[in-house]
Chains A and B, each alone.
Chain A
Amino acid sequence: MEEMAVMQDARRKTRRIKCLVWDLDNTLWEGVLLEDSNVRLKDRAAEAVKELDRRGILQSIASKNDYEATIGKLEELGLSEYFLLPQIHWNTKSSSIRTLQQALNIGMEAFAFIDDQPFEREEVAFVHAEVLCLEACPLDELLVLPELMPDIVTEDSRNRRLMYMSDLRRAAAEEEFKGPQEEFLASLDMVMSISSANKEDLQRVEELTLRTNQLNTTGYTYSFEELEELSRSPRHKLLIASLTDKYGAYGKIGLSLVEFQDDAWRLKLLLMSCRVMSRGVGSILLQHLMRSSKQEGTRFQAEYIPNDRNRMMYITFKFAGFREAFPFGDGGVILENDLSQVGEFPDYVTVQVID
């Protein structure tokens, strides 16, 4: 047990790359495109790109090349769909990575860059010290780098690229939309479904509790084994929320764990993905639980342990009518809601409860 915990800690400390940016000439393919249009992919390159995609690692390109010719070649090689927002121009590669960082909204430390030329790697490392710069290497070796090996590959990981592409289309639509925010949200035809977490969901649930950039009321993390027990426990309710809209799926974006105590339901964990906060759907899961608790006639309490990232969750609780009841644990608090004012779900989203 202790060994496993130590191993888990070590795994958490390896940085995880969320986006790999490729150079092309002499890195992804042999030769220089503008010198010889018949460049051939390096050994196992296509497999590497597809495998990384399967693992949920986003990929892009930073190449000093002619845009049309390059895109044409990527399409010919059947790989163009795997690269988000390819940066193909004659400016610095560090500027390409900055553009990607802003567009994809990922931390710079989650970027890796692979290029055969030391000059390019140094240029990028100089401007962005946090980026993992890699030499062009046999691609088999690339695939076993710990930084490129996620702990778990879930359905959401496999679809990550597609989800980002939907996000880009959505963001473009939002930019162009002329009208109030609520009308834009209504135009998305959002559907949120809430269901008890089943076996297939648990890996994604574990992933959500481990990812530190989620909005999380207590910061508790649970191993897969613990989650399995909880999902089968009659004293617990583990719910997972997914969201889709007309542009596609957002994936599983919310999680709640309720413990049925003697005189109250205790919300031990409420977690929302930051991605959906701007959709105004952050409190739907909470409202659903409050409604269920009211129907059962039980009291409803929630645990809150502040950290440097989760004040938004405290505000969510307060604005949903929770009041501080008593302190708890190390700097935490138990909040209680008298359930006198359980709000309605917002009109612009359809909520499906599958229980």
Chain B
Amino acid sequence: MVLAVKAEGVKIGYIDEEDRVQWAVRGVDLEIGSGDSFCIVGESGSGKTTLANAIAGILPPHAIIQGRLIIDGKLVLDNGRLDFNGVRGRIVSYIPQNPGTSLNPFMTVEEHFYYILRDTKSLSRREARRIALESLMKVGLDQSVLEMYPHELSGGMQQRVTIAIAIASRPKIIIADEPTSSVDANLRAGILKLLNRLNRELGLTLIMVTHDIYSAAAVCNKVAVMLVGKIVEMGEVKALLYDPRHPYTRILLNCVPVLGVKKPLKPLVGEPPRLYSDIKHCPFLDRCPFAVETCKVEPLLEPVDEKRDHVVRCWRFKELKSVEL
């Protein structure tokens, strides 16, 4: 099987005002098979968006990058050398977080499609219009939207238009950055269903970034939990939902409110460590209820059982399995 994305020790940092490098992603190895739906879950500041932007090829030029990233068989990132030509927008496409501010208010929906398709596929206006209509149909919108300006669309329609734009250039990989974070439940269910359908019917590789592990579970079959720039747990969705091993994943699952089930929420106490500090200890040390002396050394990502597809970064995952939070 061809891997859609393969990351080897990817580190991404930004330089702050005091000339320190703030590492947002501190060494990520992952493999995403083509046709998979993969989700990156994490709190804000965990580096999940930076990692997704790296895969989409839209990191800012001042980012400091190390490691190797291979997308669809092409080495796009090799220790600071970037080459996203032919990949960005053609193989990988991106659904932005906030559709309202990502669409150009001066352009109609049809023009959005035209300029993108002209640049990526050098299509004529008429051909672009045909493909625009096709993609809009796929997301459940009709012809009338083509002549509208973004402000004439509702939030849900805007989100659908951005999804349609993302699939118009026929990419193999789609990255959705918090596609449902600011919409209500009605819309959220609709958008997640749509993403699910695109993944299955068009065979797209879907990479979703979110902080809500349950919406992740509704769409994706594999989940990686990120914390302070590193993956702390990764595996099949059901493994993470029903048998979470890392204390952070367990707390994360516990603090999502579920309608109709009034369980007491157990919030996470404390703040994540600041990123410029050189972190040698377990990234969850300060906030973990089970931290011991050994946790001052950072654990490695270890497989939970012989099947090796569920991995966790915790020293005590075996003994903690039966311990209540």
Pair from one complex: no
Residues of B at under 8 Å CB distance from A?
none
Residue numbers of A with Cβ under 8 A of B are none
